[in-house]
Amino acid sequence: MSSRPTKPGRSEGADFEREQLLDAVSDDSDEDFVLRNKVGGTSSDNKLRDVKSQVEEVTNVMKENVHKLFARGDQLDELNERSENLRSASNEFHSASSRLRKTMWWKEMRIRLILGSLCILVVLVMIIWLAVKYH
């Protein structure tokens, strides 16, 4: 036979769970006084009060942790929204800078073409003037 406990029926569930809990705990009366419901006067009352205060403290810590978790979730949502805004602003900046670069390139090319045409025109005028004068 195995040393594994058998699974209880529905009517034995609470007793089985209690036995499993008590098997894991030693027979010291300080550790299982709540489960056995011993009446021992003020000592038991103080222990029960201490346990209740510890449970309340743990509950408060867990509530605080849950609030922090929700706050962190809100902060992550806000950070995600900010990153999406930054990404869209970055894309807009990239397209605007590309348009500006192309516009400036065309302006520069137009100025170069005008200056080149003027230089060619000056050279042609000088050649024609020299040709007419010394011909």
Mind listing the pLDDT tens digit for each residue in 22-71?
565 444 444 444 445 544 457 888 899 999 999 999 999 999 999 999 99
37 vs 109, more confident: 109
Average pLDDT over residues 116-131: 95
Contact 29, 38 (CB under 8 A): yes
The 3-state DSSP composition of the chain as helix, strand, coil percent (nearest 5) reads 80, 0, 20
Determine the residue type at 6.
T
Higher model confidence: residue 38 or residue 18? 18
The structure's pTM equals: 0.44
